Each structure stands twice: as C-alpha cells, then as structure tokens.
C-alpha cells in the first residue's frame, strides 16, 4: 500500500517547498494540487468542462505560477463541480507506489483523509507576503492584500474550505529556514513511519 503524505496550508507558507523535499527524500511522487486548479483556470471557457478534460500536459503550461493564475485558481476552486472533477485525478495520483506527497488546501480533509502523515504548514501574513513578493518580483503590500483576499475566499468557501485536518501536525515556518522546516517535516514523517 502506498504511503501518503498530505500537506495543506495557505499560499506561500512553504508547503510546496517542503512537499518537494519530502518527495525527494523518500523517493515518493509529488503533486502540487494547486497546479490542477491553476491549469483548469488557464484553459479558459467553462471551468467544469476544463476540469473534466484536464491532462498531465496541461500542468506544464507557461504562466501557471503567476499571481493572476493563483487568483483564478482560487476563484474556480470554490466551484463544487470543479472540485469534484479533480478529486479522482488527485486520488489516483496518491495511489502510486511506493508513495506520494500531495500539497494543497484540502488534501488531509477531503482528498486523502486517511493519509498517515498530515501536515498543515503556516506562516505569518507578513512573511508569506514577503516570500511571494520576492518570488514574483512584486510589491510586498500588494502581495499581502492578495494573500489575505485569497485566504478569506479559500477558508470561507462551502466546498472543502482551507482548514487543518483534526489530526494534522501544524508546522509554522515563519521563523524557520527552509532547511529547518524541511528537517522538522522529515523528522515527523520518520516518526510516523517508525524509521
């Protein structure tokens, strides 16, 4: 049975960096589930039809990491039919041997509620805005406003709102280096795996 690591949290908290590092460390497959929503939004047209016809090739489109793509993803992620269309894609991915790391907003609560490892990665609003601004070459104040708007939308949507699973371990990366955050995540996974 594949070992699943579910990582959730708001944008720019560090969850993607941690997820990629865990996948590399343990030899697991990695899926940034936000790319599914970004790619669905980038396809344009009817969001539900776009989600139902999403392919792996769609995940390699140019511009999926832009702030605009992130905002579009957050808007269409609130559409229950879009979420339903992408659940099977994500669960199929998670079932790959020897294991998978999925990061997003509802992995531990909806997609893989039985995952043995659930992390909820957070950081302060100011730290997240500074990270995203540095990544995109954007204004930190503008990034802060966008992140807060997105957090509000993601946490208040009716379908799979952003929240930690009841049994998730919360990892606050606000004051941690990348290395320290990754080390903390690896230590937790190893404890659960009994390594």
- Binding-site positions for ATP read 9-17
Rounded CA separation 139/160 (Å):
30
Helix, strand, coil tally for the chain in percent (to 5): 55, 15, 30
> 131 with 12: CB under 8 angstroms?
yes
Contacts of 69 by beta carbon, 8 Å cutoff, 6+ apart: 38, 41, 42, 63
As annotated, the binding site includes: 9-17
Place of tokens 């969850």: 15
Give me the helices (H) in 53-168, please: 67-76, 80-94, 125-136, 140-156
39, containing H or E segment: helix 34-43
């Amino acid at each position: 049975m594949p070992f699943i690591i579910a990582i959730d949290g708001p944008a720019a908290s560090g969850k993607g960096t941690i997820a990629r590092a865990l996948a590399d460390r343990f030899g697991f497959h990695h899926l940034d589930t936000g790319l599914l929503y970004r790619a669905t939004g980038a396809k344009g047209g009817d969001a539900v039809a776009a989600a139902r016809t999403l392919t792996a090739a769609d995940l390699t489109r140019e511009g999926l990491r832009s702030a605009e793509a992130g905002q579009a993803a957050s808007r269409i992620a609130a559409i229950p039919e879009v979420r339903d269309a992408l659940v099977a894609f994500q669960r199929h991915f998670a079932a790959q041997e020897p294991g998978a790391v999925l990061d997003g907003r509802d992995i531990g609560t909806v997609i893989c509620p039985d995952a043995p490892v659930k992390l909820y990665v957070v950081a302060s609003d100011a730290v997240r805005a500074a990270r995203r601004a540095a990544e995109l070459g954007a204004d930190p104040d503008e990034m802060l406003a966008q992140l807060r708007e997105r957090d509000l939308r993601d946490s208040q949507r009716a379908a799979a709102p952003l929240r930690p699973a009841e049994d998730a371990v919360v990892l606050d990366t606000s004051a941690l280096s990348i290395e320290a955050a990754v080390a903390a995540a690896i230590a937790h996974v190893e404890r659960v795996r009994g390594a």
